[in-house]
Structure formats: structure tokens, C-alpha cells
Structure 1
Amino acid sequence: MLTDGYHDVPKGKVATVVTQLEMRARPETRGVPGPDGWMLTRIQTPTVPWYRALYMSVGADWLWFGRMKLPDAEIDTVLSDPKVHIYTLQKDGTDGALLELDFRTDGECELVYFGLIPALIGTGAGRFLMNAAIEAAWAEPINLFHVFTCTLDSPQALGFYRRSGFIPIRQKIEVADDPRITFGYDRGLAPHVPIFDP
């Protein structure tokens, strides 16, 4: 249990406030068109190299690192599970989004990853993709749809999830290795998060 007050974050680490949100009934969605020329596609047999490349294209600016620290075999185990659904937006051979839905817990769906490449931010693609996520999640026999977001993510993320029908239920503090130090990420990524070298 953390006490009130300030707590030093060790050098070489990043700290973030993680908010868990949930949805216990399918909300009404406002139909929006997809971004011009982009098509929502479920990737039936994603490969690890494809997934890693898309993961970085979408998440590097927000310091996504959870999957990058896993060995290929562990990622492949997740991707090959029929209860894990991977979607993207595609146009002219380019992948523009990562939507990962995990149904491995009975009666639940976790929105594990949700994001767009920088070029699609602000185009309405996020609302289109979230509508698709809600539709796909509630098409299965679930009674809980949940997601985690954190203060490393876009400042708009928490509000976007709430407007989409998710309700915040708890917060946690996560301290982890800074991927710009530990995993070789470009040190210019996520300039909103300072680097504290050990």
C-alpha cells in the first residue's frame, strides 16, 4: 500500500497511473464512416514479425512495450489462440491500426490493444474502430468488456473510452523499465515522458 505523498521513481524506470475501465452492457453506438479507402480486416493468421512491426507503428510514440519484451514463442502462443482476435485497418498494402480482443476468459472480452498509426489520428478512424470493437466483443457471449489505459497513452484516451461507454473502476501505479533505455527504443519517442538514465 502506497502512503500519501511523493515517491521517487528509480532511474531507468517510467511510472504511470493505469486506469481499468469496464462495460457491462452493449452501448448504443453512433454510426460513422470508415476513413477514406481504409478497410477493417481481421487477420486470421498473424505472424510475429508482422505483429511486432504493427505494434511499434501504432504504439511506439506512447511507449508501448508489454509485448516487445516477450519472446517470439510467447507472442506466437497468444496470436495463434482462436480466442484472440486481431484486426487492422488496411489501405494499399499499409496497416493503419491495431485492435486486439481477448476472449480467453469465459464471459469476458479484454480490449488488449487499441491504436492507430499517427497518420490516422484525428480522421475519425478511432471512432470507427471502436464501434467495430464494441460490435465484435458483444457478438460473443460475454457479460464484461474491459480495457486498461494509462498516463503514457494519448491524453485523449481516457475520455475517449468513457465516451464509448466504458466506466472507470480502479487505478494502479505501474513502474517498469523505460523501453528507451532497456529495449533500445528511439530516445526521441514519447517526448512527454522524461528519460532518467541510471
Structure 2
Amino acid sequence: MTGDTARVLAIADGYHDLPPGKLASVVTYLEATRPLPAAPGPAPDGLSLRRLGAGDAELYRDVYRRVGARWLWVSRLSAPLSDIEAVLADPGVEAHALMRDGRAEGLLELDFRQPGEAELVYFGVTDSLIGSGAGRWMMARALEIAWSRPIRRFWLHTCTLDHPGAVAFYRRAGLVPYKLAVEVIDDPRAAGALPADIRPDLPPPA
């Protein structure tokens, strides 16, 4: 997930082939402009949230990879550890790992650096927890943390490269879609940032 601004382009109706080495997705932006009623309740057995700080950059990158590689998350994999340390040390950022049996199995990252807003920058659990209720609990905690700050808006965006149930999941949490965009990116598999055999549902990297 990245920023809330994009260039407005006139795209003609119809199909448009992409150059080799490129991927495209449709991005859905969702928001809440008032606190949502969901309460986190007790954590599922064996799960807890751990606040991450600058000393947790390696742990952060490990769980980021295990949660996000199949959805082609790549920006923090290629970033120097010093950049991740700086993000985690920033008082305007709050990142948490979802812990089970001493291992991080989920990630949520909130960015409060825009006054009055909370952006859910990264959110997800590893394959072992998908469908377990852990994501619903972690989302309720994310909303609770966000609205404990003096914000007027909670927002995020997801895309068609993410989990196919992502938009429905966020809507069940109470968020409302408000904008669509098209994103074109370099295929991280083509550049070697991720293995070439990830996402066999997509054409192989050029």
C-alpha cells in the first residue's frame, strides 16, 4: 500500500497490452470517517500483538516477506535495513507483529504522519492463519489503535494483486470504497526481487 495521490490519466476504453516486465492492477481505496463499532474481543488462542521498534527491522522484514511475497509486496524487501529502522523509529508510524508461539505470523502498520488521518499501510497474516479469525481480530485491533488517536479518517487501499477477498474483508470491517485507480508497476519477479515461480496465475516474468 502506498499513498493516496496519483496522476489522473485519460485511459481509452478497451484492452491495453502491457510492455514486457510490467504488471497492472485495479486499486480500490476504502475509508471510514467515524469510529467503527467493532471491538477486538479476546485474542484467538496463542495470539498477541507486539509493537515493533527500530531494533526489530530484521523481524519486520522477515514477516513482511512471509505475509506479502505471494501478493508481490516488495518495497520493504529491497529497502536497506536502515530505512526500515527509520520507519519503525518514527513516532508517526505504529507497526505491530502478530505473534504466535514466539514467531511473527502477521503484520499491521499504521501511518499517522498526515494530520488527522491514519493510513493502514500494510496488513496481512501468513498462510497458516488465513481463515482462522486472526485477521478479523487484528483488524479490530488496528481500528482500535487508530481511533485512539485524534484522527478524522482511517483509510487504506488494496488491489487485484492482493488476496481476492480483501475488499470484502475491509467492507465487513465497516470501510466504504470511495475511489478506483489503475496501477502499473515493474514486475518484481522479472527484476529478481521475488522468485519467478510466485503467482503462477500471472504470466511468467519477462
Residue 188 of structure 1 corresponds to which residue in structure 2?
A: 197
> Match for 2:173: what amino acid?
S
Q: Does 1:176 align with 2:185?
A: yes
Residue 31 of structure 1 and its aligned partner are, at CA, apart by 4.8
Question: In the alignment, which residue of structure 2 is the partner of 1:67?
Answer: 76
Instruction: Find 1:105's aligned residue among 114, 127, 132.
Output: 114
- What CA deviation, in whole Å up to 9, does each residue of 1:133-155 have, x standing for no partner? 00000000000000010000001
Moved beyond 4 Å, runs of 4+: none
Equivalences for residues 108-147 of structure 1 within 5 A: 108-147=117-156
Alpha-carbon distance, 1:130 to partner: 0.4
Q: SS of the residue aligned with 1:159? A: helix
Contact persistence 2:110–2:121 (CA under 8 A): yes
Most deviating of 26-35 and 78-87:
26-35
Question: Secondary structure of the residue that 1:126 maps to in structure 2?
Answer: helix
Aligned residue-pair number:
197
The residue number in structure 2 matching 1:41 is 50
Query: Greater shift after overlay, 28-37 or 6-15?
Result: 28-37
Deviation at 1:10, TM superposition (A): 1.1
Counterpart CA distance in 2 for 1:66 and 1:167 is: 26
Secondary structure in structure 1 of the residue aligned to 2:45: coil
Aligned with residue 29 of structure 2, among 20, 29, 34: 20
The residue type paired with residue 44 of structure 1 is: G
**Alpha-carbon distance change, 113 to 182 in structure 1, aligned in 2, over 3 angstroms:** same
2:107 is aligned with 1:93: no
Contact 1:12 1:195 in 2 (8 A): no
Q: Is the 8 A contact 1:110 1:146 kept in 2?
A: yes
CA distance in 2, matches of 1:31, 1:80: 26
Matched-pair contact (CA < 8 Å) for 2:189–2:196 = yes
Stretch deviating more after TM superposition (123-132 or 25-34) = 25-34
User: Deviation per CA, 1:140-185, whole angstroms, max 9, x where unpaired?
Assistant: 0000000010000001100101111111111111111111111331
TM-score, structure 2 normalization: 0.89
Distance in 1 (alpha carbons) for counterparts of 2:11 and 2:133? 39
TM-score (norm 1): 0.93
Counterparts of 1:51 and 1:31, CA distance in 2: 23
Q: Displacement, 1:74?
A: 3.0
- For 2:101 and 2:172, the matched residues in 1 are separated by 31
Separation in 2, partners of 1:91, 1:9: 41
